[in-house]
Chain A
């Protein structure tokens, strides 16, 4: 119900957030205003990957997404003087991005209806059905392996993280955008629905597909070892 209430964009994106690491953003904003190039570069590095993933939700190619991100940063540079800090710096940047991406996306519209991109198989099972026994109880016949009990240094090893990164990169654009914003950037579901123009249900399906696929990639990786 609350999500359907009309709200100004700023408020809708800003109000329901969890606590965020504000101090780093504050420091970066200070730096930007002073003309500190290192601050600007670190802001670019910090947000560009997420921005590209989000742009790819609206436009059909990486090249166009890169243009959108580029234009966004130009907009940031030019608009900095008029940014009043009523929303967070990040929210402001992503709002510029979404506007620019939407504007390009209209011209370059993908043929695929975006919200339908739960792989087109929103009803598909999360786990290969052959891994379960039949009814009535349908226990696992091939349960998840125990990779979660591996020591932290194995889990956080570069090789493991590379597997995870590849899995994230191979997700369809909608799943990638939702996973990035929800699970990595820790936006709320209301924020993500608003930013991507998705219903709660669609958003949840995309998130579920994404998490499921990334988990499977980790499992396969440790299975093979």
Chain B
């Protein structure tokens, strides 16, 4: 029983728990103890560091997706409104 309790305190994190906490880790919202556990895990795990890098890379790539030019309905009307709002008042014409 004692041994089991010690396993709970061991800084080891399973891969599954580590990947579940990647966002909390990147956000800096883990407790210092949990942060240490994740860092320790990342030092010894052959795969999780790649997963963490991939999450960061995913964010970077998503920023490269060109913003679609949306055919916003009413776009022409908006431009008219904009033009009108900058037309000099009648008396100045």
Interface assignment of B74: CB less than 8 Å from any CB of chain A: yes
The closest CB in chain B to the CB of A189 belongs to B27
The closest CB in chain A to the CB of B85 belongs to A77
Q: Min CB distance, B1 to chain A, in Å?
A: 16
Chain A, residues 34-49, CB within 8 Å of chain B (1/0): the string is 1101001100111011
Q: Which of A179-194 contact B (CB under 8 A)?
A: 179, 183-184, 189
Interface assignment of A66: CB less than 8 Å from any CB of chain B: yes
Is B16 a contact partner of A156 (Cβ separation < 8 A)? no
Interface assignment of A129: CB less than 8 Å from any CB of chain B: yes
Is B79 a contact partner of A41 (Cβ separation < 8 A)? yes
Given contacts A66-B72, A125-B20, A126-B22, contact A184 B14 (CB under 8 A): no
Given contacts A44-B78, A135-B14, A140-B15, contact A215 B65 (CB under 8 A): no
Cβ contacts under 8 Å, B47 to chain A: 139-140, 143-144
> Roughly how many angstroms separate A50 CA and B63 CA in the complex, as a whole number?
12
Q: Please pick, from B29, B53, B61, the residue contacting A164 in the complex, using a CB distance under 8 A.
A: B61
Given contacts A161-B61, A218-B61, contact A48 B72 (CB under 8 A): yes
Q: Which of A150-203 contact B (CB under 8 A)?
A: 155-156, 160-161, 164-165, 168, 179, 183-184, 189, 200
Q: Please pick, from A37, A168, A179, the residue contacting B82 in the complex, using a CB distance under 8 A.
A: A37
The closest CB in chain A to the CB of B45 belongs to A139
Q: Which of B1-33 contact A (CB under 8 A)?
A: 7, 12, 14-17, 19-20, 22-24, 27, 29
Q: Please pick, from B22, B53, B63, B78, the residue contacting A74 in the complex, using a CB distance under 8 A.
A: B78
Is B72 a contact partner of A215 (Cβ separation < 8 A)? no
For this complex, into which size category does the number of interface residues on chain A fall? 35 or more
> Roughly how many angstroms separate A144 CA and B75 CA in the complex, as a whole number?
44
Cβ contacts under 8 Å, A139 to chain B: 15, 45-47
> Roughly how many angstroms separate A74 CA and B46 CA in the complex, as a whole number?
54
> Roughly how many angstroms separate A184 CA and B66 CA in the complex, as a whole number?
11
Q: Min CB distance, B57 to chain A, in Å?
A: 5
Q: List 16 A-B contacts (CB under 8 A).
A: A35-B83, A44-B72, A74-B81, A77-B81, A78-B81, A126-B20, A138-B16, A139-B47, A143-B47, A164-B61, A204-B23, A204-B27, A208-B23, A211-B22, A211-B23, A218-B54
Known: A74-B78, A126-B22. 20 other contacts (CB 8 A): A35-B82, A37-B82, A40-B82, A48-B72, A49-B68, A49-B70, A70-B73, A70-B74, A77-B78, A78-B85, A125-B16, A136-B7, A139-B47, A155-B61, A179-B62, A183-B63, A211-B23, A211-B55, A214-B58, A215-B58
- 3 interchain residue pairs of minimum CB distance: A35-B86, A138-B14, A208-B23
